[in-house]
Amino acid sequence: LANRERLLEQVRAQMNQKRYEHTLGVAESARQLAVRYGADPDKAELAGYVHDYCKCWPVAKMREVIVRHDLPAELLHGEKELWHSFVGAIVIQTELDIVEPDVIQAVRYHTTGRVGMSLLEKIVCVADYIEPNRVFPGVEQIRKLAEQDLDQALAQALGGTITFLIEQKKQVYPLTLHAYNDLVSKRG
When binding is defined by CB under 6 A, the residue of 8, 119, 139, 165 that contacts ligand DGI is 165
Out of 52, 105, 121, 173, the residue judged to bind Fe ion by CB under 5 A? 52
- Per-residue binding letters, 23-52, with ligand DGI (x by CB under 6 A): -----------------------------x
Instruction: Give the chain's count of helices (H) and strands (E).
Output: 11, 0
In the chain, what is the greatest distance between 2 CA atoms, to the nearest angstrom? 46
Please give the Cα distance from 24 to 18 (Å, whole number): 10
What binding mask, one character per residue, do residues 73-112 give for ligand DGI by CB under 6 A, x or -? ------x-xx--x------------------------xxx
> CB neighbours (10 Å) of residue 75?
18
Distance of alpha carbon 61 from alpha carbon 84, whole angstroms: 10
**Spatial distance between the Cα atoms of 188 and 71, rounded to a whole number of angstroms:** 34
Q: Which residues contact 4 (CB under 8 A, 6 or more apart)?
A: 49
Closest to ligand DGI by CB, 3 or 170: 170
Which residue, 19 or 63, is less far from Fe ion as judged by CB?
Answer: 19
Residue count of the chain: 188
Closest approach, Cβ 128 to ligand DGI, in A, equals 5
Residue 122: CB minimum distance to ligand DGI, A: 13
* Nearer Cβ to ligand DGI (79/95): 79
What does the alpha-carbon distance between residue 181 and residue 139 come to, in Å, rounded to a whole number? 21
Q: Which residues bind Fe ion (CB under 5 A)?
A: 52, 128
Chain residues binding ligand DGI by CB under 6 A are 22, 52, 55, 79, 81-82, 85, 110-112, 128, 161, 165, 170-173, 176
